Amino acid sequence: MTESRREEDPPDASDPEAFGERPTVAGDMVARGSKVSLREAPSDAKRGRAEEAAARADAEREMLARKRRARRMTLALAVVVLGAVVGVGLVRQSSEIARGEREHDAMRAFDAALDEAALLHRRAAAGQDVRLWDDAEAAAKRADAAAASADVPPQARERAAAFHGAFAPELSNVRAAFAADRTAYGLSAPGDEDAAIRAVGEAIARLPRQASFRSHLASIHIRRGNWRAAQSEARKAVELDPEDALGWERLAVAALGNFDFVVARDAAQRQVHLQPQNARACVTLGSACAGLEDWDGARRANADALLRSPGLDSATTNARDFEEREKKLMPLVKDVLSGRRTASAADWFAVGEILRKDCGRFADAAHAFDKWMQLDPAGASDVTHGGRYNAACFASRAAAGEGRVFPPLDDAAKAELRQKARTWFADDVAEWRRRCEAAGIVPPDEMVKTLARSKEDGDLAPIRDEEFTSKWPEDERKACAALWAEVDALLVRAPK
């Protein structure tokens, strides 16, 4: 085989023959056996070390496993503890949130009720609707109920107490005022009118800005025929409450009675505006226009009254009255005053009555009555007739600047009218004295009625009441005081 190998092939390093070495089979086997035993049979020391290393590795693995288990247990315990802490915190937080929400809701309810009570209190104090006081009291009770909640802090109860400190006395005053006004309504009999006036006066003293009390007092004065006082109180009522139709009605009626036709017309128009379907307001408006001799306006207002209430008696009566005054009476007045007609005593008396009753022209009426008394002194002296008494009344009012006067009176003309009013009334008092003396110790009933009425008659107030007389010269005041002292002396004789 060696001879046949190609020379150019390199020798195989693993082949012994390639380098001329050819070991024997036995030697080769011995050599191989030695190499195998040295390579494949470890010594005891080496084996021990291996086992020790294996044991150490096992121990390390076990220790690592125990550490991992310990860490897992620690982590699990931490999670449990943390969960417990978080759970307690969440429960506490939830409780705090719920408590906060309850407190917030309770305070919101309390604030709303107290704010409503305060608002209604302000409106009630500033307005005219007594129901607002009831509403404010109800709201205050709701605030008290809200303040009683355990969820409301003590400061809320302090605020409620402070509100009641201001509200309760006012509410008590309001209740007392309206109780007095109700008492006055119960005193409707003629003999109780003074007591009714006192009761309403108490109500007004407690609540001076309550329009209904002023309006009520005006109605009492209207019933008594005290037109000036009625007009004054009704005027205050509508100033306090311009939307009170009843107040405007009473002002219109009082002004009509007071012959203040301009005020009566304006008040009636306001009432018609507030109560478009009120037929009585239209009747009053028609009467006021007629007093101003506005016949077209009077007819329109009366027609409106009949449109709203067909067949209304007062409107039907007014229609006839307006026609007579426009077509018959006012032409007579114009003819007599202008001198176009030679007037008799009866003519002058009729003109005086027309001027005082229908036109409110007090100065002209006083002039006409003066002419009548000059032409008919006997008639003037008949105190039961009342002509001279009426002349004194309307001269008195003209002297105070009241009524329709063309042109306005100066101070001298007013003083002259005051003198005439006192003289005419003094003549009546003297005649009553003469009749009283002729009758003996018992004065005539007619005298007592007339003189008692004169002490309250609003038409004589300008020559009786200090409100007017305090502005006069000293000699006039003394003369006036002496006149009314004579009236008192005659009334003392009246049986009790």
How would you write the pLDDT of the chain (496 residues) with one tens digit per residue? 444 444 444 554 445 444 444 444 444 544 444 444 444 455 677 777 777 777 777 777 878 877 777 777 877 777 766 666 655 555 566 656 656 677 778 788 888 889 999 999 999 888 888 889 999 999 999 888 888 887 778 888 888 899 999 999 999 999 999 999 999 988 866 668 889 999 999 999 999 999 999 999 999 999 988 898 999 999 999 999 999 999 999 999 999 999 999 999 999 999 999 999 999 999 999 999 999 999 999 999 999 999 999 999 999 999 999 999 999 999 999 999 999 999 999 999 999 999 988 888 999 999 999 999 999 999 999 999 899 999 999 999 999 999 887 788 999 999 999 999 999 999 999 999 988 888 666 667 888 899 999 998 889 999 999 999 999 999 999 999 999 999 999 988 776 5
Q: Of 453, 50, 51, which is closest to residue 224 (Cα–Cα)?
A: 453
- Domains of the chain by residue range: 343-496
What's the residue count for the chain? 496
Two tokens at 82? 């943390």
Two tokens at 72? 């897992």
List of long-range contacts for 478-483, beta carbons under 8 Å, 24+ apart? 479/422, 480/422, 483/422, 483/425, 483/426, 483/429
Q: Of 335, 373, 350, 362, which is closest to residue 418 (Cα–Cα)?
A: 362
Q: Give CA separation, 491 vs 383, 451, 454, in Å.
A: 16, 7, 11
CA 324 to the chain's CA centroid: 47
Two tokens at 46? 């080496």
Q: Are the C-beta atoms of residues 196 and 187 closer than 8 Å to each other?
A: yes
- The pLDDT, as a whole number, for residue 191 is 65
Answer whether 0.75 is exceeded by the pTM: no
- The one-letter code for the residue type at 418 is R
φ/ψ of 404, rounded to 5, equals -90, 120
Q: Give CA separation, 482 vs 332, 390, 487, in Å.
A: 39, 21, 9
- The one-letter code for the residue type at 5 is R
Residues in CB range of 17: below 8 A, 6 or more apart: 2
- Number of alpha carbons in the 13 Å side-chain half-sphere of residue 96: 6
Residues in CB range of 460: below 8 A, 6 or more apart: 392, 393, 396, 421, 425, 454
Q: Of 445, 364, 431, 426, which is closest to residue 397 (Cα–Cα)?
A: 364
Q: Of 355, 460, 473, which is closest to residue 415 (Cα–Cα)?
A: 473
Q: Are the C-beta atoms of residues 473 and 419 closer than 8 Å to each other?
A: no
